[in-house]
Chain A
Amino acid sequence: MDYEFIYSFKKPQLTGNWFLDLNPLTKLNIVIVIAIISILSLSWQVSASIIAFYFLLAALAGCLKRFSKMYIKLGLLIGSLLFIMRAMFIPGDHPLFTFWLFTITQEGIDKGIWFSTLVVSICGAIVLFSTITRAKDFMYALENLGAPHSTSYIILASFQSIIDLGDRAKLIMDSQKARGIETEGNLLQRIKAFIPVMGPLVLGAITSTEEKAIAMEARAFSAPEKNTHLSELRKVPLWEKLFVLLVNISLILFIIWRFI
């Protein structure tokens, strides 16, 4: 038997990377502060620097590849859409050039750059947080704050249900195709194909909740005891607390400097 694996649960499960091993709430605090700075700065230069900064943080956490893969695609898509919309439609006194119905103005371009960098920087906070934080660690941190363990169940079971239902949907769609139900064809045919896939899927899932409830009840799901955890987070060390304090003080200083 793999005792090394079993006994690894005796200690908090750390990765050895100081940034990844921060408490999930510390990470949340950091990304929120970054997002607020981006919003309050009202400057595209700040937002753009923050976007670059995320890559640094991701590299620090050793997740640069995973983060970049998701964020670059997303950032380019959302950023360019938001920029083009503003560049095309926002009127102003400094027209640059005109084509067809549209007049591109300096104001449109400026607003476009500012807004797209802002939104992309806020998106980055969310993407970074989800890249460097495991859902179960985050839920565990919330439980420590007093959230009932049913919240953890709901969130974590949602992830698994999405996988399970997705697999079943594929299965049903394949069998529908095999039985000759048109899943391509014209719009009406495709809408009609939705029902025989979704119907059995949803009904099966809803009726299975009864067995699930019984199974979880057998595992003492609603036992009155305060539950313990096999896999624990480490106690937040002093330096991490000071670090959070420092981050939050910098935010306050930034606000004072910016608005007073």
Chain B
Amino acid sequence: MKKSFKLTVFLIPIGIAVNFIGGQIVLLLKLPLYLDSIGTIVVGALCGGIPGAVVGAITNLLISITNPTTLAYIWLNILFGLLAGYLGKKGIFTSLWKTIITSIGFAIIGGGLGSTITILIFGGLGAGATGAITGMLMTMGFSVQAGAFIAELFADLLDKIPTMIIVFFILKSIPVRTLVKLPQGKLYIPNNGKDQRIHNI
């Protein structure tokens, strides 16, 4: 386990950078998604919940340097990491359809907890597109809570389904010689690697 921990330290900055770059490529390609938690979930899945949560928390802190209101949502990124660690340990990410189903879990954190934070801190009216949708839903007769919840859950599910598909294929493509050095990596080796050949360097 100690050996695995060594590699975890070096994977955390990569996870953080992946979150960042994911978000930036989305902007460059003008996609209506976030795709900014791929690094958190991949590191959580490979190294466990705590390293995943660390990736999420630091990503959030670094983003909040330029966009401070993000800081209020740090708990989401932490929980994404923890959930990914737990699901990874259970072996969920080795099957594509199970992985896709987990997007509901991530969307409930992102949408459910996200909207709760929006309500608690921003009175439901955050400074973003979902804030405007919430406002519209409120004028249509929904309560603040219901409006924020529906708006954010929907936005989050739309984001987490492609996120989880990408995560699945990333995990599937990591070479065995890297997987053996990660705390939860061995779970992703097909047939526990019995018939896998590994090249030496």
Determine whether A and B are in direct contact in the complex, meaning some CB atoms lie less than 8 angstroms apart.
yes
- Number of inter-chain CB pairs below 8 Å: 160
- Identify A78's interface contact among B7, B30, B62, B127, CB under 8 A: B127
Q: Is B64 part of the contact surface with A, judged by Cβ < 8 Å?
A: yes
Please give, as numbers and ranges, the residues of chain A lying within 8 Å of B20 by CB-CB distance. 162, 165-166
Please give, as numbers and ranges, the residues of chain A lying within 8 Å of B10 by CB-CB distance. 157, 209, 212-213, 216
Q: How far is the CA of A44 from the CA of B9 in the complex (A)?
A: 44
Q: Is B143 part of the contact surface with A, judged by Cβ < 8 Å?
A: no
Q: Is A56 part of the contact surface with B, judged by Cβ < 8 Å?
A: no
Q: Is A246 part of the contact surface with B, judged by Cβ < 8 Å?
A: no
For A215, give the chain B residue with the smallest CB separation.
B10
- Identify A190's interface contact among B13, B29, B123, CB under 8 A: B29
Interface of B is mostly: helix
For B33, give the chain A residue with the smallest CB separation.
A191
For B147, give the chain A residue with the smallest CB separation.
A89
Q: Is A37 part of the contact surface with B, judged by Cβ < 8 Å?
A: no
Q: How far is the CA of A203 from the CA of B174 in the complex (A)?
A: 6
Q: How far is the CA of A130 from the CA of B61 in the complex (A)?
A: 11
| Beta-carbon contact of B131 and A81 below 8 Å | yes
| Beta-carbon contact of B123 and A164 below 8 Å | no
| A254 → B minimal CB distance (Å) | 22
A199 with B170: in contact, given A102-B139, A154-B12, A154-B54 (CB under 8 Å)? yes
Q: Is B196 part of the contact surface with A, judged by Cβ < 8 Å?
A: no
For window 1-28 of chain B, which residues contact chain A by CB distance below 8 Å? 6-7, 9-14, 16-18, 20-22, 24-26, 28
| Beta-carbon contact of A122 and B14 below 8 Å | no
- Identify A191's interface contact among B28, B126, B162, CB under 8 A: B162
- Identify B35's interface contact among A161, A194, A222, CB under 8 A: A194
Interface of A is mostly: helix
Interface size on A (CB < 8 Å)? 60
Q: How far is the CA of A81 from the CA of B14 in the complex (A)?
A: 33
Q: How far is the CA of A169 from the CA of B58 in the complex (A)?
A: 21
For B43, give the chain A residue with the smallest CB separation.
A206
Question: What residues make up the interface of A, taking CB atoms closer than 8 Å to B?
Answer: 70, 74, 77-78, 81-82, 85-86, 88-90, 101-102, 111, 115, 119, 122-123, 126-127, 130, 150, 153-155, 157-162, 164-166, 169, 173, 183, 187, 190-191, 193-195, 197-199, 201-203, 205-210, 212-213, 216-217, 222
Please name the 5 residue pairs, one residue from A and one from B, whose CB atoms are nearest each other, closest first.
Answer: A161-B17, A123-B68, A85-B125, A157-B13, A81-B127
